[in-house]
């Protein structure tokens, strides 16, 4: 679990709202083009088919208007944005059960309805509106950042399963990479290692001497998508290091025991 004291990055709520819709539009177009055979195909997510994954992606966005339609729960424990990545593993069984129960017989219709509900419900919704999420109360602004993580991670899952080549919205990718980088810094606080995910994030983590000037002695650098795969268990540290998709220098620059951050 991350420590209680954390510094939270600020996100532009308007950009995050737009990023969720933009990434969902990319997925919607790709899903509409999939054949029945592709939809019945396997994914890297256990027993989920591509159809299950597509329905799950729709649910992740649909959760926004659904929660906005629910009454605010005054006095409910607040969930900080940096707590969210560490809570997801405990909900895996419930998420799997709910996903399998979704009606995925008309995916185009489902996606059209979700997109319309999302746009309609967010027109006048304030960013500080508290949503009754599973783990507590979360502001709309923070919850939308978590939707970028769900969308980017599962778009990558969908691409891996189908080869569809679905593009990633730049703002959604940035928010996803930044939140997971900040989660690493929260899990292993310190200043001994500098983790670089250009062009989106730089964080310091791991206990030890803090570096303040010049080239840090312990540096990890990788691209955003490789970082996201490592942070969510889609890739292995040693494999990415051997393939030169991760560059690590310094005796403390080994993050293997800290990953993944969420499943």
Residue ending a domain, choose from 171, 206, 225? 171
Which residues have CB under 8 Å from 29's CB, separation 6+?
A: none
Which residues have CB under 8 Å from 79's CB, separation 6+?
A: 87, 133, 135, 136, 137, 138, 142
Q: For residue 7, tell me if it sits in a domain.
A: no
Specify the pLDDT at position 208: 82
Confidence grade of residue 3 (pLDDT, cut at 50, 70, 90): very low
Specify the pLDDT at position 97: 92
Judged on CB neighbours under 10 Å (0-12, 13-18, 19+), 120 is: exposed
Specify the pLDDT at position 171: 98
Cis preceding linkage at 51, omega within 30: no
> pLDDT for 27-73, tens place per residue?
999 999 999 999 999 999 999 999 999 999 999 999 999 999 999 87
Confidence grade of residue 263 (pLDDT, cut at 50, 70, 90): confident
Judge whether residue 215 has pLDDT over 80: no
Judge whether residue 15 has pLDDT over 80: yes
90 and 199 assigned to the same domain: no
Which residues share a beta bridge with 38? none
Write down the pTM of the prediction. 0.94
| Number of domains making up the chain | 2
107 and 215 assigned to the same domain: no
As a whole number of angstroms, the distance between CA 155 and CA 100 comes to: 18
25 and 155 assigned to the same domain: yes
Which residues have CB under 8 Å from 46's CB, separation 6+?
A: 96
Specify the pLDDT at position 2: 45
Judge whether residue 209 has pLDDT over 80: no
Which residues have CB under 8 Å from 105's CB, separation 6+?
A: none
As a whole number of angstroms, the distance between CA 207 and CA 191 comes to: 6
Distance of CA 227 to CAs 53, 173, 178, 205, 258, Å?
21, 11, 10, 15, 13
Judge whether residue 1 has pLDDT over 70: no
Q: For residue 51, tell me if it sits in a domain.
A: yes
Judge whether residue 206 has pLDDT over 50: yes
Specify the pLDDT at position 77: 87
Mean pLDDT for all residues in the chain: 93
Specify the pLDDT at position 217: 86
Specify the pLDDT at position 5: 47
234-255: average pLDDT: 97
39 and 99 assigned to the same domain: yes
106 and 199 assigned to the same domain: no
141-150: average pLDDT: 98
As a whole number of angstroms, the distance between CA 83 and CA 58 comes to: 23
Does the CA dihedral 161-263-103-64 come out positive or negative? negative
242 and 143 assigned to the same domain: no
Q: List alpha helices for 33-105, DSSP H.
A: 36-39, 50-69, 84-87, 92-100
3-class secondary structure, 212: coil
Range of the domain at 58: 13-171
Q: For residue 230, tell me if it sits in a domain.
A: yes
Specify the pLDDT at position 211: 61
């Amino acid at each position: 679990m991350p420590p209680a004291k954390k510094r939270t990055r600020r996100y532009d709520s308007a950009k995050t709202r737009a990023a969720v819709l933009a990434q969902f539009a990319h997925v919607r177009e790709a899903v509409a083009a999939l054949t029945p055979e592709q939809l019945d195909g396997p994914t890297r997510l256990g027993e989920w088919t591509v159809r299950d994954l597509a329905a799950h992606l729709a649910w992740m966005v649909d959760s926004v208007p659904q929660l906005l339609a629910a009454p605010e729960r005054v006095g409910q424990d607040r969930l900080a944005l940096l707590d969210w990545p560490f809570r997801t593993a405990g909900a895996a069984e419930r998420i799997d059960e709910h996903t399998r129960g979704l009606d995925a017989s008309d995916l185009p219709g489902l996606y059209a309805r979700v997109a319309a509900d999302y746009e309609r419900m967010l027109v006048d919704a304030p960013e500080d509106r508290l949503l009754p999420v599973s783990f507590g109360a979360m502001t709309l602004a923070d919850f939308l950042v978590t939707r970028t993580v769900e969308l980017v991670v599962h778009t990558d899952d969908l691409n891996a399963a189908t080869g569809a080549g679905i593009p990633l919205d730049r703002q959604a990718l940035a928010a996803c990479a930044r939140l997971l980088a900040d989660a690493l810094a929260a899990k292993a606080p310190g200043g001994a290692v500098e983790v670089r995910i250009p062009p989106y994030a730089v964080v310091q983590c791991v206990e030890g001497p803090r570096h303040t000037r010049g080239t840090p002695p312990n540096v990890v650098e990788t691209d955003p998508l490789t970082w996201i795969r490592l942070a969510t268990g889609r890739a292995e540290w040693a494999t990415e290091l051997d393939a030169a998709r991760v560059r690590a220098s310094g005796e403390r620059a080994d993050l293997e025991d800290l990953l993944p951050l969420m499943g």
